[in-house]
């Protein structure tokens, strides 16, 4: 992870499908807020193009979604003290969000290619997708 400001990092995930990111947020129980232009972090707020927020927790830090203006997006967050509830939803260093985003992208692609997808979540939280025709 690249540190951008004190405590704030760019999450090691290049997002190229915003729809899959929105779907991943819904599965994880966080809110994707297209209209929100700042995200909460240790030193107040920072500018972004959209935000990912924990519902019903005004103290939780948020994830800033930044448009790279080339069809991709960076995600920035502050995980200090677990983001005051953020990591409960997205995992340490957003591993749950990264995994769910990848599962959403793969599922959409397989379905477009005519496959049926079954999804299993293992006891340790890994997502296993099985594609069949």
Extents of the domains making up the chain = 2-132
Write out the two tokens for 100.
Answer: 């769910």
**What would the pLDDT profile of 60-118 be if each residue is shown by its tens digit?**
999 999 999 999 999 999 999 999 999 999 999 999 999 999 999 999 999 999 999 99
Q: Extract the tokens encoding 58.
A: 């005004």
pTM over 0.85: yes
**CA–CA dist 78, 92 (Å, integer):** 11
Gap between the Cα atoms of 41 and 63, Å rounded:
8
Query: What are 42-52's pLDDT values in tens digits?
Result: 989 999 999 99
Write out the two tokens for 67: 């448009």
Separation of first and last alpha carbons in the chain: 38
Segment (H or E) for 67: strand 63-67
């Amino acid at each position: 992870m690249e540190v951008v400001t004190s405590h704030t990092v760019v999450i090691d995930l290049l997002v190229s499908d915003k729809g899959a990111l929105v779907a991943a947020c819904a599965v994880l129980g966080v809110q994707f807020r297209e209209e929100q232009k700042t995200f909460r972090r240790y030193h107040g707020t920072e500018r972004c193009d959209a935000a990912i927020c924990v519902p019903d927790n005004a103290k939780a830090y948020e994830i800033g979604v930044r448009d790279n203006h080339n069809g991709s997006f960076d995600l920035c967050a502050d995980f200090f003290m677990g983001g005051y509830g953020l990591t409960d939803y997205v995992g340490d260093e957003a591993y749950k969000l990264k995994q769910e985003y990848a599962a959403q992208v793969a599922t959409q692609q397989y379905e477009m290619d005519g496959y049926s997808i079954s999804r299993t979540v293992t006891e340790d939280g890994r997502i296993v997708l099985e594609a069949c025709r």
